Amino acid sequence: MVDECLQPFRLSVSTLQSVSTRLKKDMIRGLGKHTHHRAPVKMLPTFVRATPDGTEKGDFLALDLGGTNFRVLHVRILEDEQRVVKMDSQICAIPQEIMLGHGEKLFDHIAACLAEFLDSHELKGQTLPLGFTFSFPCEQLDIDKSVLIRWTKGFNCSGVEGEDVVRLLREAIHRRGDYDIGSVAMVNDTVGTMMSCGYRDQSCEIGMIIGTGTNACYMEEMRNVKRVEGEDGRMCINTEWGGFGDDGSLRDIQTDFDLVVDKTSLNPGIHTYVFHPARTPSNQSPAGSASLLTDDNINTKIQQIFVKPHTTGPLKGHRGGQNTDGRPKRYCKYSGILS
């Protein structure tokens, strides 16, 4: 019975190569001036034109929002030593009611946590530049202007989609009136991951995230970025490859488990690639595969795999004293807590 449940997860090498070809095709569509609006892989320009070269210096604030928690950081970089010499951080939780409430409440919560951090580190009298990592699909119009396309990862705050999130952050800070921030650089978490590697390996030109969701960025030649004027130099592209398959192109490899997780998610039909479990080439063991399991869906899929033998086949109807039809809310946990 277990082998029967696991069989759909085993893909042939030729199928995996086909998936790779489809992804490349959608990435090219996303870069096109006249095709990007129909592309499930959005290939968003970031306006980041280079990776760090070691000449950066100064004190900076950073906000990292991309899941059920967000981080506030103070970073100090010395040019002479070409390294980060100080990094203080604080993790702040985002309650469920804020994740699903009005956007103003979310940004007021972020501003309040930033104020608490500045107070505790005696930084409130300074106006420091801020890097804002906002790890949701956004249309970036400039380095400090980014419009949310849609929520993912369990967020569904009203009044934010279609709005400039940098402006919403500034407005929340101004409503408080007890501190201010300097210039803001808006980056996706994949971009921040790539940039942070700059001091250790300046040849790093790809950033990839596998966490609450999955995404990647890379440095692209400007001549291939048809949505932005100019052909000289390069620009970092935020692929937003989590949307791969939203047009149905992965339907042939979706399992019953994928369909259940998608149907019961907050945004059905969105971020299909994120909600795919690990796929194993048919000639490999699961332990030897590179998986795309993400925190946001692993618990649900594991539950579905364990539930299925109790709802079909020889174990049908046998519950063993457990509620196998679905998880009671009190037993739901984000896998990040467990890890």
Distance CA 28, CA 40 (A): 11
Nearest to 169 by CA among 283, 17, 65: 65
Q: In what order do the strands lie in the sheet with 83-93?
A: 83-93, 69-78, 58-65, 130-134, 184-187
Instruction: Check if 153 is active-site.
Output: yes
Distance CA 262, CA 270 (A): 8
Distance CA 148, CA 160 (A): 7
Helices of type H across 124-255: 165-176, 189-196
Q: Which of 42, 153, 301, 308 is catalytic?
A: 153
Residues 174-187: b if buried by 16+ CB within 10 A, e if exposed: eeeeebebeebbbb
Nearest to 62 by CA among 111, 133, 12: 133
Distance CA 140, CA 137 (A): 9
Q: In what order do the strands lie in the sheet with 44-45?
A: 44-45, 234-238, 214-221, 206-210
Q: Is beta strand 44-45 parallel, antiparallel or unpaired with respect to 234-238?
A: antiparallel
SS3 27: helix
Q: What is the DSSP string of 295-323?
A: HHHHHHHHHHHHHHHHHSGGGTT--TTS-
Distance CA 231, CA 310 (A): 59
Instruction: Check if 189 is active-site.
Output: yes
Torsion of CA 72, 95, 151, 301, to 10 degrees: 110
Distance CA 19, CA 281 (A): 12
Q: Which of 189, 258, 262, 295 is catalytic?
A: 189
Nearest to 130 by CA among 165, 155, 93: 165
Residue numbers annotated as active site: 153, 189
